[in-house]
Structure 1
Amino acid sequence: MSDIQLWTLIFAVITFSIYIYIAYASRVSSTSDFYVAGGGIPAPANGAAIAADWMSAASFISMAGIIALGYNGYSGSVFLMGWTGGYVLLALLLAPYLRKFGRFTLPEFVGDRYSETARLVAVISAVVISFVYVAGQMGGVGLVFTRFLGVSPTVGVIIGMAIVFFYAVLGGMKGITWTQVAQYSVLIIAYLIPAVAISARATGMPLPQIGFGQILGDLDQLQRDFGFEAYTEAFTDPAFGMQNMLLITAALMFGTAGLPHVIVRFYTAKSVRAARYSAVWAIVFIGLLYVTAPSVAAFTKLEILETLNDTAISSLPQWFTTWSDVDLITGPEGAALQDLNNDGVYNYTGGAGNEVMINNDILVLASPEIGGLPAPIVGLVAAGALAAALSTASGLLLVISSSIANDVYYKRINPQATEKQQLNVGRITMAAAILVAGYLGINPPGFVGEVVALAFGLAAASFFPILVLGIFWKKATAMGAAAGMITGLVFTLAYMVWTLDIYFGGEGIRGIPATGIGTVGMLVNFAVTIIVSQFTPKPSEKMQALVEEIRYPGRTTLVEKHLEED
Structure 2
Amino acid sequence: MDQFTINLLFVGASFALYIGIAIWARAGSTSEFYAAGRGVHPVLNGMATGADWMSAASFISMAGLIAFVGYDNSTYLMGWTGGYVLLALLLAPYLRKFGKYTVPEFIGDRFYSPTARMVAVLCLIIASVTYVIGQMTGVGVAFGRFLEVSNTTGLLIGAVVVFAYAVFGGMKGVTYTQVAQYCVLILAYTIPAVFISLQLTGKVIPGLGLFGTDMSSGEPLLLKLDQIVTDLGFKSYTGHHTDTLNMVLFTLSLMIGTAGLPHVIMRFFTVPRVADARWSAGWALVFIALLYLTAPAVGAMARFNITNQFWPNGTEGEAVSLETIANDPAYHWMATWEKTGLLKWEDKNDDGKIQYYNDKNPDMEARATANGWVGNELTKFDNDILVLANPEIANLPGWVIGLVAAGGLAAALSTAAGLLLAISSAVSHDLMKGQLTPNMSESSELMSARVAMAVAIAVATYLGLNPPGFAAQTVALAFGLAAASIFPALMMGIFTKRINNVGAVVGMLVGLLFTMVYIFLHKGWFFIPGTASFPDTVEGSLFGIQSTAIGAVGALLNFVAAFVVSSMTAAPPKEIQDLVESVRIPRGAGAATDH
Q: What TM-score, normalized to structure 2? A: 0.90
CA distance in 1 between counterparts of 2:234 and 2:4 reads 35
Partner of 2:136: 138
- For residue 172 of structure 1, give the secondary structure of its aligned residue in structure 2: helix
Q: Distance in 2 between matches of 1:438 and 1:11?
A: 24
1:172 to 145, 170, 173: 170
Q: Which stretch shows the higher mean deviation, 313-322 or 259-268?
A: 313-322
Question: Paired residues, what number?
Answer: 548
Structure 1 outlier segments of 4+, above 3 Å: 341-344, 501-504
The one-letter amino acid paired with 2:229 is Q
Quote the offset at 1:125 in angstroms. 0.6
- The Cα of 1:556 is off from its aligned counterpart by 9.9
Alignment of 1:274-285 (within 5 A): 274-285=276-287
Greater Cα offset, 341-350 or 84-93: 341-350
Q: Does 1:228 pair with 2:250?
A: no
Instruction: Give the drift of 1:201.
Output: 0.9
Report what 2:368 is aligned to.
none
Aligned to 1:547: 580
**Cα separation, 1, equivalents of 2:336 and 2:456:** 34
How far is 1:341 from its partner? 4.0
SS at match of 1:369: helix
Distance 1:521 1:350 in 2: 36
The corresponding residue for 2:253 is 251
1:294 counterpart SS class: helix
User: For 2:115, which of 114, 117, 124 is the aligned residue?
Assistant: 117
Rounded to whole Å, the distance in 2 between the matches of 1:555 and 1:280 is 18
Residue in 2 aligned with 1:524? 557
Cα distance in 1 for residues equivalent to 2:545 and 2:454: 37
Between stretches 341-350 and 385-394, larger displacement belongs to: 341-350
Identity over aligned residues, as a percent? 52
Distance 2:359 2:134 in 1: 30
Q: Which runs of 5+ in 2 are unaligned?
A: 213-220, 312-318, 326-330, 361-374, 526-533
Q: CA deviation at 1:509?
A: 2.5
Query: Which position in structure 1 is the counterpart of 2:47?
Result: 48
33-42 or 512-521, which deviates more: 512-521
| 1:27 partner SS | coil
1:455 is paired with a residue whose SS is: helix
Q: What corresponds to 1:381 in structure 2?
A: 404
Match of 2:314 in 1: none
1:36 matched to 2:35? The reply is yes
Q: Does 1:470 align with 2:493?
A: yes
Per the alignment, do residues 556 and 348 of structure 1 end up closer, same or farther by CA in structure 2, a change over 3 Å counting? Answer: closer
Equivalent positions of 1:52-131 (< 5 A) are 52-69=51-68, 72-114=69-111, 115-131=113-129
**Mapped partners of 2:443, 2:340: distance in 1:** 46
Residue identity in the other structure for 2:338: S
Q: Is the 1:84–1:283 contact (alpha carbons within 8 Å) kept by the matching residues of 2? A: yes
Give the alignment's Cα RMSD to 1 decimal.
1.5
Q: How does 1:353-368 map to 2 (within 5 A)?
A: 353-356=375-378, 357-368=380-391
How far 1:203 moved relative to its partner? 1.2
8 Å CA contact 1:492–1:518 kept in 2: the answer is: yes
Q: Which amino acid in 1 is paired with 2:341? A: D
In 2, are the aligned partners of 1:142 and 1:153 still within 8 Å (CA)? yes
Q: Within 1, Cα distance between the matches of 2:417 and 2:358?
A: 39
> What displacement does 1:343 show?
4.5
Whether the 8 Å CA contact 2:151–2:340 is kept in 1: the answer is no
SS state at 1:254 partner: helix
SS of the residue 2:544 aligns to:
coil
Determine if contact 1:47/1:285 at 8 Å carries over to the other structure. Answer: yes
Cα distance in 1 for partners of 2:494, 2:66 equals 36
Work out which of the two has the higher radius of gyration on C-alpha atoms and give 1 or 2: 2
Residue 535 (1) aligns with residue 568 (2) = yes
Deviations 1:452-502 (A, max 9, x none): 111111000001111111100111111111111111111111111112256
- Counterpart of 2:333 in structure 1 is 319
- Say if 2:86 and 2:259, in contact at 8 Å, map to a contact too: yes
Q: Report the counterpart of residue 546 of structure 2 in structure 1.
A: 513
Distance across 2 between alignment mates of 1:344 and 1:523? 55
- Kindly state the Cα deviation for residue 350 of structure 1 after the two structures are TM-superposed: 2.7
SS in 1 for 2:542: coil
Find the counterpart in structure 2 of residue 486 from structure 1: 509
The two structures have a TM-score, normalised by structure 1, of 0.94
- 8 A Cα contact 1:165 1:434, kept in partner: yes
Match of 2:11 in 1: 12
- Name the aligned partner's letter for residue 289 of structure 2: G
101-110 vs 224-233, which deviates more? 224-233
**Cα shift at 1:325:** 2.8
Conserved 8 A contact 1:550-1:556: no
What SS does the corresponding residue of 1:171 show, helix, strand or coil?
Answer: helix
Q: Which runs of 5+ in 1 are unaligned?
A: 331-336
Paired residue for 2:439, among 416, 421, 442? 416
State the one-letter code of the partner of 2:152. Answer: T
Q: Where in structure 2 are the equivalents of 1:324-335 lying within 5 Å? A: 324-330=338-344
Q: Is the 8 A contact 1:308 1:345 kept in 2?
A: no
1:424-474 deviation digits (Å, cap 9, x = unpaired): 110111110010011011111111110111111100000111111110011
Matched, 1:370 2:393: yes
- Once the 2 structures are TM-superposed, how far is the Cα of residue 555 of structure 1 from its aligned partner? 6.9
SS of residue matched to 1:61: helix
Structure 1's 444 and 95: CA in aligned 2 closer, same or farther, altered over 3 A?
A: same
CA–CA distance in structure 1, aligned partners of residues 39 and 588 of structure 2: 22
Query: How far did residue 411 of structure 1 move?
Result: 1.1
For residues 75-118 of structure 1, give each alpha carbon's deviation from its aligned partner in whole angstroms, at most 9, with x where no partner exists. Answer: 01000000100000000010000000010000000000011111
Conserved? CA contact 2:320–2:355, under 8 Å: no
Letter in 2 for 1:161: A
Tell me, yes or no, if the aligned pair for 1:251 and 1:518 is still in contact at 8 Å: yes
In the TM superposition, residue 55 of structure 1 has moved relative to its aligned partner by 0.5
Give 1:149 deviation, angstroms. Answer: 0.9
Is this contact kept in 2: 1:228–1:351, CA < 8 A? no
Which AA in structure 1 matches 2:491? V
How many angstroms apart in 1 are the aligned matches of 2:589 and 2:393?
57
What is the DSSP-based 3-state SS (H/G/I as helix, E as strand, rest coil) of the residue aligned with 2:543? Answer: coil
**Amino acid paired to 1:369:** E
Alpha-carbon distance, 1:5 to partner = 1.7
Indicate conservation of the 8 Å contact 2:116/2:504, yes or no: yes
Among 182, 199, 202, the alignment partner of 1:201 is 199
Is the CA contact 1:549–1:555 (under 8 Å) kept in the aligned structure 2? Answer: no
Question: In structure 2, how many angstroms separate the alpha carbons of the residues matched to 1:349 and 1:89?
Answer: 41
Cα displacement (A) at 1:131: 0.6
1:374 Cα deviation (Å)?
Answer: 1.6
The separation in 1 between residues aligned to 2:588 and 2:292, in whole angstroms, is: 37
Contact 1:28 1:170 in 2 (8 A): yes
CA-to-partner distance for each residue in 1:320-379, whole Å, 9 max, x for gaps?
22222322123xxxxxx3223444432222333422231110110000001110221111
Deviating more after overlay: 90-99 vs 504-513: 504-513
**Is the Cα contact below 8 Å between 1:96 and 1:273 reproduced in 2?**
yes
Letter of the aligned partner of 1:221 in structure 2? Q
Q: What is the DSSP-based 3-state SS (H/G/I as helix, E as strand, rest coil) of the residue aligned with 2:547?
A: coil
